[in-house]
Structure 1
Amino acid sequence: MKVIICGAGQVGWQIARQLSGERNDVTVVDSNADLVRRATDTLDVQGIAGFASYPDVLERAGARDADMVIAATHSDEVNMVTCQVAHSVFAVPRKIARLRAQSYLTAIYSDLYRRDHLPIDVVISPEREVAEAALRRLAAPTAFDTEMFLEGQVQLLGIQLDEDCPVLNTPLRQLTDLFSTLRAIVVGVRRAGNLFAPEPGDQLYDGDQIYVSTHVDDTARTLEIFGKPFTRQERIVILGGGNVGLAVARALEGRAERVRSKVIEKSRAAAERAADALERTVVLHGDGLDMELLSEAGIDRADAILAVTDDDKTNLLASVRAKSAGCKMAIALVNDPTLLPLMEPLNVDAYINPRATTVSSILRHIRHGRVRGVYSIGDGEAEVIEAQVLSTSPIAGQAIRDIDFPEGVLVAAVQKGGKVVRPTGGTRIDEGDVIVVFSLAADVPEVERLFQVSIDFF
């Protein structure tokens, strides 16, 4: 597949890394020559320095025979014009644009992106993706990472194991026997910085980070089994009243169960906008690092602080202060991946990586076959892929134990006729089933091949 990625920032670079690693023909375009040079020096990609929306720049990037354009520059307008030029001048079949401004995303203006107006096939909104990720974190407060699959029936949980975890030093196959009715599977383990797909005989140790796929009805029990008792969040302090914080506060107001939330915003104008938009949420104007203001927000009684300002260091420091003042849990928005190793020593419970959420959204629309969902784990180390099985897929009609999956791949869940079943070696994969698989990055191309249809399907 020939792909042009416009924008060589964090998101563009990560997408380029993943697609070039899968032997796609990738060209990166950015007006910053240094960013283009970084991409071409470290990745197997071509680079063009120039403005992505200029027709001559896209032509030099190979737009005449490109299969897809991904517009992920820092400017919404450049991304929109890039897609228009790619369509009108070069007839590029698929165009994805990252748009930040909420005005462009309002549902009543959705007709704007039709082919006869602005021909954008997929619009990605980082702020919406991050807000949804924050709400998922709050729904499973003791997990450091979480994502939903199979129409919300299956949840992926990232769990940090501590010394008081009751199932340490127990082979995974024995856990299956001990909890035979539990619809949960350990699909990934990160140990000493190395992520791998575990074997049935592997054991879990103190300090491991594990990824567990579980039916949503079994989430609380799964967390409890791995030493993380489920607690309901009733009092939440949100630091940052911008698009992300406002979206989270609105969602919390709309919940059936009562959640008392307060928003702290440093900008007076943003605080006033948030106060006007929210009905039951208290909005406080001031610096979230100010202990007096945190005390006024009741941080000592809060179940969680959600720090989602546009400054990583503010988010981390505010999380540390909140925890030291008695807040039970801290979730921080962290853009810079080099700061993530600080999470554990700083006692920050969970993080949200906007780059990872945006990359996952874009990958969902790039993967071949009937792929319906993709979630990128860590720094692109692995993917969890949800896909529908077609009649001519190589895995159709086979039991899981007979499918030639690579070593770094595990089946996490299977949906048959709308019902989720816990996969075993004898589970047969049939046409129409939807399956969720965990795959290390190096094995993703092979997973895609197993989901693809053969040529006679057409």
Structure 2
Amino acid sequence: MKVIICGAGQVGWQIARQLSGEKNDVTVVDNNPDLVRRATDTLDVQGIEGFASYPDVLQKAGARDADMIIAATHSDEVNMVTCQVAHSVFDVPRKIARLRAQSYLTAIYSDLYRRDHMPIDVVISPEKEVAEAAMRRLAAPAAFDTQAFLGGSAQLLGISLDDDCPVLNTSLRQLTDLFSTLRAIVVGVRRDRTLFSPDADDQLYAGDDVYLFCKSEDVARTLEIFGKTNRKQERVVILGGGNVGLAVAQALEARTDRVRAKIIEKNRTIAEHAADSLERTIVLHGDALDNEVLTEAGIARADAVLCVTDDDKVNMLSAVRAKQAGCAMAICLVNDPSLVPVLDALDIDAHINPRATTVSSILRHIRHGRVRNVYSVGDGEAEVIEAQVLSTSPLSGRRIRDIEIPEGVLIGAIMRGTDYMKPAGETRIEEGDVITLFSLADDVPEVERLLQVSIDYF
């Protein structure tokens, strides 16, 4: 597949890394020569310097025979014009654009992206994705990572194992026998900063980060078995009243269970806009690093603080201050992946990586086969793929134990109609089943082969 990626920033670079690693023909376009050079020096990609919306630049990038263009520059308008040029001049079949401005995303203007208007096949909103990720973190505070699959019937949970975890030094096979009615399966383990897919005889140790699939109704029981308790979030303080903070506050107001939320925002104009847009949420104008402002927001009694300003260091330092003041849980937005290893030492409970959420959204629309959902794990170390099994798939009609699945791949859950199934070696996968697979990055091409059908390329 020939793909042109416009924008060589964090998101563009990560997408280029994943697609080039899977032997796709990738060309990166950016008007910053340093970013283009970084991409060509570190990845197996071609680089073109120039403005992505210019027809002659797209011509140099090979747009005439491209299968897809991904517009992920820092400018919404450049991304939109790039897709228009790719359609009108080069007839590129698939066009994906990242758009940030909320005005472009309002549902009443969705006709804007019709083929005869502004022909964008998929619109990705980083702020919307990050807000949804924040809501998932708040819903499962005992997990460091969480994502819904199978229409909400299944949850991927990331859990850090403490010294007092009841299931340490127990093989996964024994866990299955001990908790035979628990609809949960461990699909990934990170140990000593290395992520792997475990087999039935592997044991779990203190300090491990485990990824597991479970039926949504079994989340509380699963967390309890792994030594975690899920506290209800009744008081939440949001640091940052921009698009992300505002979207989270609006989502909290829309929930049926009452949540008391407060926003702290340094910029008066943004604070006033947030106050006008919200009904029950209290908006405080002040500095998130000011202890007096945090005290006024009742940080000591808060169940969680969500730090989503546009400055990583402010998010991290304010999260530390909130925890020191007595807040039970701190979640912060971190754009720079090099800062993530510091979070544990700072006692920050969970973080949100905007790049990972945006990459997951884009991958969902470019994977081969009947793919419904994709979630990027860690720093692109693995992917969780949800897909429907068609009759011509190599998976259809075969028992799991008889399928030649790579070592780095595990099936986490199966949905047959409305029935949720926990996979086992004897489970037979049927046509029409929707399955979730945890796959290490190197094995994703083989997973695509198992899911791909010639008549259903995209």
TM-score, with structure 1 as normaliser: 0.99
For residues 387 and 272 of structure 2, what CA distance do their matches in structure 1 show? 44
Aligned to 2:385: 385
Aligned to 2:262: 262
Report the secondary structure of 2:119's partner residue: coil
1:120-269 aligned at under 5 Å gives the runs 120-269=120-269
For residues 183 and 281 of structure 1, what CA distance do their matches in structure 2 show? 38
For residues 418 and 50 of structure 1, what CA distance do their matches in structure 2 show? 50
The amino acid that maps onto 2:225 is: I
1:71–1:98 contact (8 Å) kept in structure 2: yes
* C-alpha distance 326-219 of structure 1, shift in aligned 2 (>3 A): same
Aligned to 1:355: 355
**Structure 1, residues 122-144: CA drift from partner, whole Å, max 9, x if none?**
00000000000000000000111
2:369–2:456 contact (8 Å) kept in structure 1: no
* C-alpha distance 455-256 of structure 1, shift in aligned 2 (>3 A): closer
Q: Which runs of 5+ in 2 are unaligned?
A: none
* C-alpha distance 115-192 of structure 1, shift in aligned 2 (>3 A): same
Aligned to 1:77: 77
**Structure 1, residues 399-456: CA drift from partner, whole Å, max 9, x if none?**
1111100000000000001221111111110000000000000000000000011469
Q: Does 1:301 align with 2:305?
A: no
Report the secondary structure of 1:166's partner residue: coil
User: Higher mean Cα deviation, 172-181 or 93-102?
Assistant: 172-181
Q: Does 1:116 align with 2:116?
A: yes
1:233–1:304 contact (8 Å) kept in structure 2: yes
1:297-446 aligned at under 5 Å gives the runs 297-446=297-446
Aligned to 2:3: 3
For residues 212 and 258 of structure 1, what CA distance do their matches in structure 2 show? 29
For residues 227 and 334 of structure 1, what CA distance do their matches in structure 2 show? 27
Aligned to 2:86: 86
Root mean square deviation of aligned Cα: 1.1
For residues 231 and 177 of structure 2, what CA distance do their matches in structure 1 show? 27
Aligned to 2:97: 97
The amino acid that maps onto 1:191 is: R
1:393–1:454 contact (8 Å) kept in structure 2: no
For residues 42 and 213 of structure 1, what CA distance do their matches in structure 2 show? 34
Q: CA deviation at 1:343?
A: 1.0
**Structure 1, residues 288-344: CA drift from partner, whole Å, max 9, x if none?**
111111111111000000000110001110110000110000000000000000111
For residues 211 and 246 of structure 2, what CA distance do their matches in structure 1 show? 29
For residues 13 and 456 of structure 1, what CA distance do their matches in structure 2 show? 27
For residues 307 and 206 of structure 2, what CA distance do their matches in structure 1 show? 28
The amino acid that maps onto 1:205 is: Y
Q: CA deviation at 1:169?
A: 0.4
Q: CA deviation at 1:14?
A: 0.1
The amino acid that maps onto 1:374 is: V
For residues 419 and 350 of structure 2, what CA distance do their matches in structure 1 show? 31
2:370–2:456 contact (8 Å) kept in structure 1: no
For residues 371 and 298 of structure 2, what CA distance do their matches in structure 1 show? 44
Report the secondary structure of 2:29's partner residue: strand
* C-alpha distance 15-218 of structure 1, shift in aligned 2 (>3 A): same
1:315–1:333 contact (8 Å) kept in structure 2: yes
1:188–1:210 contact (8 Å) kept in structure 2: yes
1:236–1:302 contact (8 Å) kept in structure 2: yes
User: Higher mean Cα deviation, 85-94 or 214-223?
Assistant: 214-223
Aligned to 1:39: 39
Report the secondary structure of 1:151's partner residue: helix
For residues 181 and 454 of structure 1, what CA distance do their matches in structure 2 show? 39
**Structure 1, residues 123-173: CA drift from partner, whole Å, max 9, x if none?**
000000000000000000011111110001111111111101110000011
Report the secondary structure of 2:373's partner residue: strand
For residues 450 and 114 of structure 1, what CA distance do their matches in structure 2 show? 33
The amino acid that maps onto 1:140 is: A
**Structure 1, residues 80-116: CA drift from partner, whole Å, max 9, x if none?**
0000000000000000000000000000000000000
Query: Identical aligned pairs, as a percentage?
Result: 77
Report the secondary structure of 1:274's partner residue: helix
The amino acid that maps onto 1:56 is: D
Number of residue equivalences: 458
The amino acid that maps onto 2:172 is: L
Aligned to 2:448: 448
The amino acid that maps onto 2:163 is: E
Q: Which runs of 5+ in 1 are unaligned?
A: none
1:95–1:120 contact (8 Å) kept in structure 2: yes
Aligned to 1:48: 48
For residues 334 and 235 of structure 1, what CA distance do their matches in structure 2 show? 23
For residues 36 and 10 of structure 2, what CA distance do their matches in structure 1 show? 12
Report the secondary structure of 1:414's partner residue: strand
The amino acid that maps onto 1:335 is: N
